Amino acid sequence: MSTSSSSVGSLSRYRADFPGLQPEVNGEPLAYLDSGATAQRPSAVLDVERRFLETTNAAVHRGAHTLAALATEAYEEARETVARFVGARSSDEIVWTSNATDALNLVAYGMGNATLGRGGPEASRFVLAPGDEILVTEAEHHANLVPWQELAARTGATFRYVPVHDDGTWSIDDAAAALTDRTRVFAFAHVSNVTGHVAPVAELAELAHGVGALVVLDACQSAPHRALDLVGLGVDFAAFSAHKMLGPTGIGVLWGREELLDALPPFRTGGSMITTVTMESSSFLPSPARFEAGTQPVSQSIALAEAVRYLERVGLEAIDEHEARLGQRLVDELGALPGVRVVGPASGVARAGLASFDVAGVHAHDVGQFLDAQGIAVRVGHHCAQPLHRRLGLTATTRASTYLYSTDDEIDRLVQGVSEVRAYFGAE
């Protein structure tokens, strides 16, 4: 039964579903505040994948035997489940990848292959030339930055970015000022993995389409936490990873408009993605098969579908509310500590349920180790966003990120721990 209309506090009852939250760490109850990197998995997801491997494990789309047929059915049902979850028009708009980074590379390298003349006339919409522009933001994760730098280098296009403000955020006005009639791609994150800034996706997509640009959305920090309607948002491609949304590692998702996926040249080639192969040439299947060369992540896709069903049972509205409240607590209470700087939107401004912060005089890695000794798991480093940290005048930050199973007690423990850091390291 969905609990999306129930009180936010009721989400704490779901903690018992997560075996990874139960052990003690360094003699203390685990406070897992690193879900922005990798989420814990509920027993239901672990059980579904194990059951498939024990009873139905077989190659998909290849065998004529019963086990292969059952595996193929479960595999494609998983695709349908994920398609419904993100508002896809059909399951053919869902491509399995190894992770979100792989999905973003698929689009970038596919466009590069189109520029090299692969894909035929229908791929002409992806061709880039000197003078064309690829636009990202200064806040991007490296996965949504480096592939576009590489595409610019391969094609002669100009790589540009929307600059961020002193708090690490950017606005729709900043994007409008950076978009030009030469912009061919605008790639940005729905939610920043460092600042928690939430981009106004639909408005940005409309702006970008107004100059003829394709819109590529990094949905890694939004798909696990809030309801998505990718068609309604107006983007052209979107990428996200299973391991951030209660699912397994080794599988990601590329969503794309069906007509665009069918026109985009493939990134990887080999078995399972072809129609005819001769010693002289090969022809390729339509999407999604054309992008799924080789052996597929079958058990992982089935586990991801169960993770989606679990999220739907809990209710994305309730999850979003819960995390937004915890995110505001992080900003307010960490920001009130002497010597602590929280980056990202100010208190009261909408943000995701995460906060990255700097403790004056103490390196982020030392902060993380101090907290870990108390059983508090956080992320430290540049979070695969070096340009953003450089713009903020920082080499690293400590990040606390929440999920549906996070509690107020964990926030209390974190704030108390951070309040002791500077004295412990003699930085006061």
pLDDT of 10 higher than 90: no
H helices of 296-398, in order, are 298-314, 316-335, 364-372, 386-391
pLDDT of 88 higher than 90: yes
Q: What is the predicted pLDDT for the residue at 62? A: 79
What domains can be seen in the chain, in order of their start residue?
8-42+314-424 (3.90.1150.10), 49-312 (3.40.640.10)
pLDDT of 54 higher than 70: yes
Residue 86, helix vs strand vs coil? coil
pLDDT per position as a tens digit, 355-364: 999 999 999 9
Name residue 376's amino acid: I
Whether 255 and 230 have beta carbons less than 8 Å apart is answered as yes
pLDDT of 1 higher than 60: no
Q: What is the predicted pLDDT for the residue at 428? A: 83
| Nearest-angstrom CA–CA distance, 352 and 196 | 5
Percent of the chain with pLDDT over 90: 93
Cα-based angle 185, 189, 191 (whole degrees, multiple of 5):
160
The token pair that represents 17 in the structure block: 């579903």
pLDDT of 141 higher than 60: yes
Arithmetic mean of pLDDT, 351-358: 97
pLDDT tier for residue 120 given thresholds of 50, 70 and 90:
confident
Residues assigned a catalytic role: 384
